[in-house]
Chain A
Amino acid sequence: MLGEFEYLLLSAAARLGEDAYGAAIRREIEGATKRRCAVGALYTTLDRLEAKGLVTTWMGDPTPQRGGRPKRMVRVTAKGIQEAKGFFRAVSRASRGLSWAIDPVKVP
């Protein structure tokens, strides 16, 4: 089963699609959680997910915005999507009937 941060990372990478890379995923997670996302946590979790076969990563092209440095591009694998679905279903089942799950939080 995935961890909370692993699920957040997979969701952000899946939402970004072809544009998923380190800094963009970090922005996406910070936007969703309204909390700071540490670079260390992001890259160590990304390594763990890659080792589990849930994502694949490769070096992207360097851009002037990044001082000519490359990006680490991320793509969620089919296995990663299955794991994320499983996590979501488990959280949904666990939340059934609970007061905070009856009135879903409005997403701005």
Chain B
Amino acid sequence: MMRSGWLFLSVLARALEPAERDVVLGDLAESGEGVGPATRHLLGLIVRRQVGLWLAWRPWLALLGVSCLAAVSLSRIVYRLNVDLHKHAAGYATSLTAGQEVAFLVLLAGAVTVWSWTCGFVLGALSGRAVWLTWSVFYFVVLDSAFVRFVLMGNIVLRNPRTHEAVLDSLQGTLRLLMVTTLPLSLAGLLFAFPALAETATVVKWRQPGNRQAALPRHSVFQQGKLIRHADRLRRRSRNGRLPARDGRFPPR
């Protein structure tokens, strides 16, 4: 078998447990099969192993509880942070003072980071080797659920044959859409993607987190609750008109 073929098989075999990976690659080397049949054998084993993983309840809990339910809530906070960061950058008038606005953004960013980290921990701990699927669903739900909501509400028009001004009517627009829906291009996107990815990778590597590591998410859930409450209190106080705006004046009712 050619060197490139072995490289391909070695990459593919990473979907298996490390011990089994070596044994199976050794068997394929010994049998002297070509890249095609060896790939078929390897894919067959990977599919069987993945199906076997989904016979347990843990990956389902990760998929439904974290990748679907928690991810939708997190996506709303990520979207909120995104909008508020844009407003702040554009000098959009709000009823908060400059210091309060920065404090609000920092609290929101902290909540996004801590929540994402917690989701990453739970995904890694529950999913095992099915993590590639649960994490992908989690990532795309958080990144794109606001976008999907706007498309469904008609705020974003993907294709319009009459005006040819919709997103998918030009190559540039299509490429931009592809990038926006697949990459965490905003600061809020980075704040959610990296902690979640880093923590999932760490937990999958550890395999069985100890009591101390398992206590961390509990602590972080408590902390993020406090962060969100602080941020919410800041916003509510400003809505009541009790705090002056950046220029020192109170906003009109």
Q: Identify the A interface with B (CB < 8 A).
A: 22-23, 26-27, 38-41, 43-44, 59, 62-63, 65-67, 69-72
Contacts and interface: CB of A to CB of B under 8 A. Distances in A.
Given A23-B30, A40-B41, A69 B23 contact: yes
B52 A69 contact: no
B26 A43 contact: no
B31 A23 contact: yes
Contacts of B20: 43, 72
B47 A40 contact: yes
Contacts of A69: 22-23, 25-26, 29
The A interface is mostly helix, strand or loop, or mixed, namely helix
Q: B24, B27, B29, B31: which has the most chain A beta carbons within 10 Å?
A: B27
A75 to B, nearest CB: 16
Contacts, number: 60
12 contacts: A38-B45, A39-B41, A40-B41, A40-B44, A40-B45, A40-B48, A41-B48, A43-B45, A59-B23, A63-B26, A65-B29, A65-B30
Interface of B: 19-20, 22-31, 41-42, 44-49, 52
Contacts of B31: 23, 26-27
A23 B33 CA distance: 12
Contacts of A26: 27, 31
Contacts of B52: 44
A24 B23 CA distance: 12
B23 A67 contact: no
Contacts of B23: 22, 59, 69-72
A39 B27 contact: yes
Nearest to A38: B44
A65 B44 CA distance: 24
B11 to A, nearest CB: 16
A65 B27 CA distance: 10
B29 A66 contact: yes
The 7 closest A-B pairs by CB, nearest first: A69-B26, A40-B44, A66-B26, A40-B45, A39-B41, A23-B27, A40-B48
A12 to B, nearest CB: 14
Nearest to B28: A39
